[in-house]
Amino acid sequence: MTTDVPSFPPLKPRDPVEIGGYRTVGRLGAGGMGAVYAARSPAGELVAVKLVHGDLATDPEFRARFRREADLVGRVVGPCVPRFLAQDTAADQPWLATEYVSGPTLRQHVREHGPLTGASLHAFATGVAEALRAIHAAGIVHRDLKPGNVILAPDGPKVLDFGIARAIDETAITRTGGLFGTPGWVAPELLKGAPPSVAADVFAWGGLVAYAATGRSPFGTGSAETMAVRVLDGKPDLAGVPDSLMPLVRAATGQDPRQRPTVEQTLAELLGTDRATVVDPGSDATELVTRVLRQGWEAPPPPTVFTGDPVPRRRPRRRRPRLLSGAAVSALVLVASAAWVAGDRFSQEPVGTDVGADGGATEEVGDGAGDETGEQVAVEIASNGLFMVHSDPDGTLDLTPGFDGAGSALPEGVDRAEFVVASVDVNTVYADVQRQSGVKVIGELEYLADEGEFTLRAGDFVLLEVGDEWDPLPDDPTVDGRPAHTAPGDEVVATVSTDTPNAEFEVDFADAPQSGLLTYRPAANAVGGTAEVAGVYTCYMNWHPYPPVDMTDEEYVPCPTERPE
């Protein structure tokens, strides 16, 4: 029985104290589908339990999809995937439990400590190949292998997130068509319309090993379109991959899936054995992999806890210490229910407008020069449905209040750690699940500064309709006359501070359509005083089961007016 108690984000008042016999001890993550909890089994084992939101549990189609996910997770057995423990997809709120996996993701480790080298790199390549062998042996293709979906556990790499995995012998249950995966990690044949395959997972394995060895994505960074062009161009950046791995990595990232090595061939090469040894998951290969991990794997250091000295109210803020959560510590990665496309607003112009109750422009909010402090607040879309709020007390961001132009980053040269105040994790679900109507914006607010507080109001969010008569990616979506759906502007839905840094919130829009633009613009006094504010907008699509892209890679596409057939 485990006696140590790791630190987890604390449970919230509405969180369950027990799920299916597992006693919850902390939160690991949350999203549009539900929440993931750290919990103890009756025997004291630490586990991760994924619990579906109650409103989604009433949707038969969603239950079918969750039941399929639980079935997929339960099929996979191996030393480099989390161990499936239990599930109850017939419960009032369906849930599934897996082994709890601690450690940083590969992306976190590379960002904080640099690439893997030597025996650890070889063990990483071997462990991920073994995980794919177990996944494929269960009749599944992963479809989204990337640095954020591999945890570097004390005993070796663990491949996570079967949220968009697809059974090879069945048609995935989805609510819409389209390409699943993350730009830069999706194989070229998938971009051309081919179905998911084990060869596509091998392509992602090659890119993943290159990233682990060099600290760079083999196809760089940029918009989804840019990444797709680079993948189709077939020239990955592999400089820095060691000679011992280069032939395998180069072959795995090749354009022709028929010319790539199979997982079995890859694993045999890494283990220095023949292919016949690794075909059967129950063969001696598992023992060979375990030996490689035992001899070569070096347990990674825990993620860095960033600390900052307390600073005066009118100085740039520094990031406060925060607990590791979500995919970094969980054997389950929660996937949001809405798909997002985004624009955020910065420019050199000195004027701006506020969002009125009808979605149109109202009078100017602050002129900067006349404000006593010149404080500015800017919102950035950091990833899929995650807004980061930045506050600049001296007005040096030189932003336009309101909305202006499309982009997904702060102005060039801005040090995010100096200005970050809060994060707003947003998802959408039906406001009325039975009738499948209206929109409810739900989410979690976290305070990241060293002092002060941040206030979120219902009026900070406005849902705007889309259609052929309006620009699908407008510079300012609030001024072209499109219908707007609002909530009471002064209603405070959450306040966070250094003493109470976390809060949940929800805002109902009873008449809003199931697809549209969600604008988020904090009130001028959200951080105290009066500030000029630049907001963002995203596309929400309530019918979409999973985000089709990782918004970290910046995709901008039109928001559909209605659910695709």
| Candidates 59, 71, 144, 425; catalytic one | 144
The three-state secondary structure class of 383 is strand
**Separation CA 484–CA 359 (nearest Å):** 5
Structural contact between residues 446 and 469, judged by C-beta atoms closer than 8 angstroms: no
Longest pairwise C-alpha distance within the chain: 76
- The secondary structure of 206-223 as a DSSP string is HHHHHHHHHSS-TT--S-
**Separation CA 396–CA 310 (nearest Å):** 21
Structural contact between residues 323 and 103, judged by C-beta atoms closer than 8 angstroms: no
DSSP-assigned beta bridge partners for residue 508:
440
Catalytic status, residue 490: no
Q: Which residues, 6 or more positions from 278, have their beta carbon under 8 angstroms from its beta carbon?
A: 133, 264, 267, 268, 271, 285
Please name the amino acid found at residue 260: R
Checking 469-473 for CB contacts under 8 A at 24+ apart, the result is 472/558, 472/559, 473/343, 473/406, 473/556, 473/558
Rounded (10°) angle between helices 118-137 and 263-271: 150
Sign for the pseudo-dihedral over CA of 405, 410, 414, 418: positive
DSSP-assigned beta bridge partners for residue 290:
none
Token pair 């997809």 is found at: 89
Token pair 């980061």 is found at: 388
How many CB atoms lie under 10 A from the CB of residue 23?
16
Determine the length of the chain: 565
Task: Please tell me what DSSP assigns to residue 291.
Answer: H
Token pair 């506020």 is found at: 354
Question: At residue 206, what are phi and psi to the nearest 5 degrees?
Answer: -60, -45
**Taking the CA of residue 461 as centre, how many other CA atoms within 13 Å lie in the half-sphere pointing to its CB?**
32
**Separation CA 340–CA 536 (nearest Å):** 12
Give the burial class of 233: count Cβ atoms within 10 A of its Cβ; 0-12 exposed, 13-18 middle, 19 or more buried. exposed
Structural contact between residues 88 and 67, judged by C-beta atoms closer than 8 angstroms: no
Token pair 């072209």 is found at: 480
Joined tokens for residue 219 = 């196809």
Active site positions, annotated: 144
